Amino acid sequence: MLQKARFRDPKKRQRNYYSGKKKRHTIKTQVIVNKAIGNIICTNFANGRKHDFKIFKESKVRINPNNKIVVDSGYQGLQKIHMNTMLPKKHSKKRPLTKDDRKHNHLLASTRALNENVIGLIKRFKIVADKYRNRRKRFGLRFNLIAGLHNFELN
């Protein structure tokens, strides 16, 4: 009887992983990279529905207030929690970006390139790049092993 209760409605469990943006069932990963060395400091995982900033808040990662954080536009609101945050400026139909804003966004993108390169190196293992066809429970373990391999390769 307990087994039936556990597997009662698999569609409800699967619905949590459906990403409306990508139109498929996904698992999101958050990677925090040390810019100086290029190694992975912290990883976090969530279902595909969750917003990036919400994943960051739930991970409860403590960052020194003196450290500069460079993030993409998915982390709007982080500057309220951490004052030393660099976010790109967003444009709208009514307020297009000025040339200074574009230069600022370009500078941020170039500093964020190291983080994107680390994600690209992780994608070589095809765990993030392709469909993950194994159990969702083991995704975190496998991703952390790959992150450990990446850090070992740097040393």
98-146 pLDDT, tens digit each = 999 999 999 999 998 988 899 888 888 887 777 777 777 888 888 899 9
Answer yes or no: is 45 within a domain.
Answer: yes
Q: Is a pLDDT exceeding 60 seen at residue 6? A: no
Answer yes or no: is 151 within a domain.
Answer: no
Burial of 93 (0-12, 13-18, 19+ CB in 10 A): exposed
Contacts of 81 (CB under 8 A, 6+ apart): 57
The parent domain of residue 109 ranges over 17-132
Answer yes or no: is 152 within a domain.
Answer: no
Q: Is a pLDDT exceeding 80 seen at residue 16? A: no
Question: For the whole model, what pTM was predicted?
Answer: 0.76
Number of domains present in the structure of the chain: 1
